[in-house]
Amino acid sequence: MVLASLLLSGCTNPIGPPEPTAVLTVDVDQINAGEPINFDARDSSTPEATIIIQFEWDFGDGSTSSTSQGLTNHVYDSPGSYEVTLTVENDQGGEDVARWTIHVNAFPVVDLLVQEMATVGESITLNGEGSYDPEGGILAWAWDLDLGDDSDGDGDPRNDVDSSLSSITMQLNESGEIEGSLTVIDDRGAVSSEAFLINVSTRIWQVTWEQKRVSVDWDGYLKQGESWYITHQPGIEARIMEVNATLTLSMDMLPQLPQDNFTLRLVVPQSGWDESSATSQENITKAPTAYIERDGMNPIPADSKIYRFDHADDLMLYLLDDPASRFGQGNWTWQVTADQADPDLLVDEIDPDDGNDWDLEVEFVILVPRISEVFE
What per-residue confidence (pLDDT) applies to 346? Answer: 54
Mean pLDDT of 179-190: 95
Rg (CA), the chain: 47
Number of domains in the chain: 3
Whether 9 has a pLDDT exceeding 90, the answer reads no
Out of 5-19, 148-162, 242-256, pick the least confident: 5-19
Same domain assignment for residues 36 and 125? no
Verify that 184 and 231 share a domain, yes or no: no
Check whether residue 39 and residue 131 sit in a common domain: no
Structural domain includes residue 316: yes
Residue from 335, 320, 360, 317 nearest 240 by CA: 320
Q: Is the pTM of this model over 0.75?
A: no
Average pLDDT in the chain? 91
Last residue in a domain, options 169, 201, 233? 201
Q: Are residues 224 and 286 in the same domain?
A: yes
Cα gap 276→290, rounded to integer Å: 9
Query: Higher-confidence residue: 343 or 265?
Result: 265
Q: What is the mean pLDDT of residues 276-295?
A: 91
Q: Could you tell me which of 251, 352, 372 has the C-alpha nearest to residue 309?
A: 372
Q: Is the pLDDT of residue 299 over 90?
A: yes
Return d(Cα 157, Cα 351) in angstroms, integer: 83
Q: Is residue 288 part of a domain?
A: yes
pLDDT in tens, 196-244: 999 999 999 999 999 999 999 999 999 999 999 999 999 999 999 999 9
**At 60, which CATH number?**
2.60.40.10
- Looking at the fold, whether 346 and 244 belong to one and the same domain comes out as yes
How far from chain centre, in Å, is Cα 374? 24
Share of the chain above pLDDT 90, in %: 83
What count of other Cβ atoms lies within 10 Å of the Cβ of residue 117? 10
For residues 125-150, give the mean pLDDT.
95
213 inside domain: yes
Region 93-110 average pLDDT: 96
- Model confidence over 24-44: pLDDT tens digits? 999 998 999 999 999 999 999
**Residue 74 banded pLDDT, cuts 50, 70, 90:** very high
Mean pLDDT of the 136-165 span: 93
pLDDT band of 354, cuts 50, 70, 90: confident
Nearest to 88 by CA among 109, 113, 68, 115: 68
Q: Residue 303: pLDDT above 70?
A: yes
pLDDT band for position 345 (cuts 50, 70, 90) = low
227 and 337 within one domain: yes
261 and 134, same structural domain? no
Q: How many other C-beta atoms are found inside a 10 Å radius of the C-beta of residue 7?
A: 9
User: What is the pLDDT confidence band of residue 90, given thresholds at 50, 70 and 90?
Assistant: very high
pLDDT for the residue 124: 96
DSSP-assigned beta bridge partners for residue 294: 243
Of the candidates 201, 217, 238, which is a domain's last residue? 201
Could you tell me if 21 and 87 lie in one domain? yes
Residue-level pLDDT at 257: 59
Predicted confidence at residue 348, as pLDDT, reads 55
Residue 157, C-beta contacts closer than 8 angstroms, at least 6 positions apart: 146, 147, 148, 149, 150, 151
For residue 245, what pLDDT is reported? Answer: 98
* One domain, residues 88 and 225: no
Domain around 369? 206-374
Residue 287 and residue 359 share a domain: yes
The reply to whether 212 and 230 lie within a common domain is yes
Q: Is 8 among the domain residues?
A: no
Q: How far is residue 365's CA from residue 298's CA, in Å, rounded to a whole number? A: 11
pLDDT classification of 266: cutoffs 50, 70, 90: very high
Q: Do residues 255 and 365 share a domain?
A: yes
CATH of residue 241: 2.60.120.380
Query: What is the rounded average pLDDT of the residues 166-186?
Result: 96
